[in-house]
Amino acid sequence: MARPALSPTERSTPRRHRERAAADRAALDAILDEGLVCHLGFGTDAGPVVIPTGYGRDGDILYLHGSTGSASMTAAAGGAPVCVTVTLLDGIVYARSAFHHSANYRSAVIHGQARPITDDTEKSHGLRVLTEHLAPGQWDYTRPPNRRELAATTLIALDLTEAAVKTRNGGPVDDPDDVAAHQGWAGVLPLHRVWGQPQPADDLPAVVAVPERIRYRSVPT
Amino acid sequence: MARPALSPTERSTPRRHRERAAADRAALDAILDEGLVCHLGFGTDAGPVVIPTGYGRDGDILYLHGSTGSASMTAAAGGAPVCVTVTLLDGIVYARSAFHHSANYRSAVIHGQARPITDDTEKSHGLRVLTEHLAPGQWDYTRPPNRRELAATTLIALDLTEAAVKTRNGGPVDDPDDVAAHQGWAGVLPLHRVWGQPQPADDLPAVVAVPERIRYRSVPT
């Protein structure tokens, strides 16, 4: 399926390190699919607010949700501009000078207006996307939301039309004089995410085994 | 040393899950000290922008930095309200219903006005704090910034006076009917960060060993 090209604007075009800006839809999707939490930014009368929240991607739509009692979701669903950022930290860059220390990372910064999803069918679909992103395989494994739960959930959708992808990878970029003079180590210390041992709920009968899809859940890196 | 108490305001007081809000200065410091990247939110004429960036804490001051050519840093340093959020994702909560799926996490949401640091001595101090947070032990191990590098760096400081800490931990909180009816697994899949094998720079002589503080860098949790 053809995907709409991203349309970086003045707002979303990185002004520095343009070589790091890969305005590439596949890169955006890969970051969103690998991340688990996004940071949602929205404006208030008192200034900007940034909160961490779950999300899920379905093609060109990003879904976010929260409680109907959440001031953040209410503010974000109002149609004002929002910014959603997903960052994957891949390592720390140890250089020969303090100045050239850096981090290897991939980030996606998405701009748009969020629209509230109120139709129960679409809301249920969006929550499936969100749940499957957070915990793959769980939507069909567990009880779906009832009407009361749907009513208690605010779901918002954001079109993936304006976004900026930035990445840094590779080793330190040191000044030649520092490379010649420095006697110590320089390089990259990679950072990975790994799943730990599944911890059964306190009220789970001991006879229930951990499904393989959970025990061996993959962590892309 | 006595620390100023946090002063949650209407803006920074979570309206939901107040039991998760531990307005506790030690908890704030622990999150900031364990995190590696923050998400900085600031307003623009076109709406909010959220970018990932490094930071460092010195007592009651949070330092952030960027290039003087960075539009984000210029905007954030202008004295308008900013929001800095650090999130540690600790695991995914697998429940018996889609609705009760959740994430275990710790987050700190800090509000304030950032002030630019222009004095070279204070700027150098702030960059030391930042560098030591990103890569402990490196400030004294590598060449300090020269005047050109200091001039090319925007450093901003944010007082830790208004912040909200939220945490979720523990297993799923399921409806009793679901606990009785569901035959499958429920619990928590913990998520950890681990350092990989240090990767030497391409231009590093093979004879240079990796310092132990890097090879055995600790990852809290």
The per-residue pLDDT for range A77-95, each reduced to its tens digit, is: 888 899 999 999 999 999 9
**Is the pLDDT assigned to residue B220 strictly greater than 90?**
no
B151 at A interface, C-beta within 8 A:
no
For residue B66, the model assigns a pLDDT of: 81
Contacts of B60 (CB under 8 A, 6+ apart): B3, B4, B159, B160, B161
- Least-confidence region, from A129-133, A174-178, B42-46, B190-194: B42-46
Structure tokens at B213: 């503080």
Tell me the average pLDDT across A99-114: 96
Between A99, A172, A208, which is nearest B185 by CB? A208
Helices (H), A35-89: 71-76
Interchain pair A52, B87: CB under 8 A:
yes
Which residues of chain A lie closer than 8 angstroms to B128, CB-CB?
A: 98
B148 at A interface, C-beta within 8 A:
no
Work out the mean pLDDT of chain A and round it to a whole number.
90
Look at A165 and B18; give whichever has higher pLDDT. Answer: A165
Tens of pLDDT, residues A122-146: 999 999 999 999 999 999 999 999 9
Instruction: Indicate the burial class of B162 (C-beta count within 10 angstroms; 0-12, 13-18, 19 or more).
Output: middle
A149 at B interface, C-beta within 8 A:
yes
Interchain pair A214, B94: CB under 8 A:
yes
Asked if A88 and A64 count as a contact pair (C-beta separation under 8 A), the reply is no
For residue A103, the model assigns a pLDDT of: 97
**Is the pLDDT assigned to residue A15 strictly greater than 90?**
no
Tens of pLDDT, residues B148-183: 999 999 999 999 999 999 999 999 999 999 999 999
Interface probe with B: pick from A142, A177, A183, most Cβ of B within 10 Å: A142
Interchain pair A204, B211: CB under 8 A:
no
Which residues of chain B lie closer than 8 angstroms to A210, CB-CB?
A: 185, 187
Which residues of chain A lie closer than 8 angstroms to B184, CB-CB?
A: 141-142, 208, 211
What distance in Å separates residue B59's CA from the closest CA in chain A? 21
Which residues of chain B lie closer than 8 angstroms to A189, CB-CB?
A: 135, 195-196, 198-199, 214, 217
What distance in Å separates residue A1's CA from the closest CA in chain B? 29
Which residues of chain B lie closer than 8 angstroms to A171, CB-CB?
A: 199-202
For residue B143, the model assigns a pLDDT of: 98
For residue A2, the model assigns a pLDDT of: 39
Q: Pick the closest to residue A116 from A152, A172, A78, A69 (CA basis).
A: A78
Cα–Cα distance, B154 to B138 (Å, whole number): 20
Which residues of chain A lie closer than 8 angstroms to B220, CB-CB?
A: none
Q: DSSP secondary-structure letter at B6? A: P
- Tally Cβ neighbours within 10 Å of residue B196: 13
| Helix, strand, or coil (residue B79) | coil
Which residues of chain A lie closer than 8 angstroms to B181, CB-CB?
A: 143
Cα nearest neighbour of B209 on chain A: A185
A220 at B interface, C-beta within 8 A:
no
**Is the pLDDT assigned to residue B144 strictly greater than 80?**
yes
Instruction: Indicate the burial class of A206 (C-beta count within 10 angstroms; 0-12, 13-18, 19 or more).
Output: exposed
For residue B22, the model assigns a pLDDT of: 45
Cα–Cα distance, A27 to B98 (Å, whole number): 29
Tens of pLDDT, residues A41-54: 999 999 999 999 99
Structure tokens at A13: 């075009």
B154 at A interface, C-beta within 8 A:
no
Tell me the average pLDDT across B99-106: 97
Asked if A94 and B214 count as a contact pair (C-beta separation under 8 A), the reply is yes
Q: Pick the closest to residue B176 from A143, A67, A206 (CA basis).
A: A143
Interchain pair A214, B185: CB under 8 A:
yes
Largest CA distance in chain A: 68
Chain A, 118 to 147: residues with Cβ < 8 Å from chain B are 127-128, 131, 134-135, 138-139, 141-146
A154 at B interface, C-beta within 8 A:
no
| Helix, strand, or coil (residue B29) | helix
For residue A4, the model assigns a pLDDT of: 45
- Tally Cβ neighbours within 10 Å of residue A169: 12
ipTM reported for the complex, 2 dp: 0.91
- Tally Cβ neighbours within 10 Å of residue B200: 17
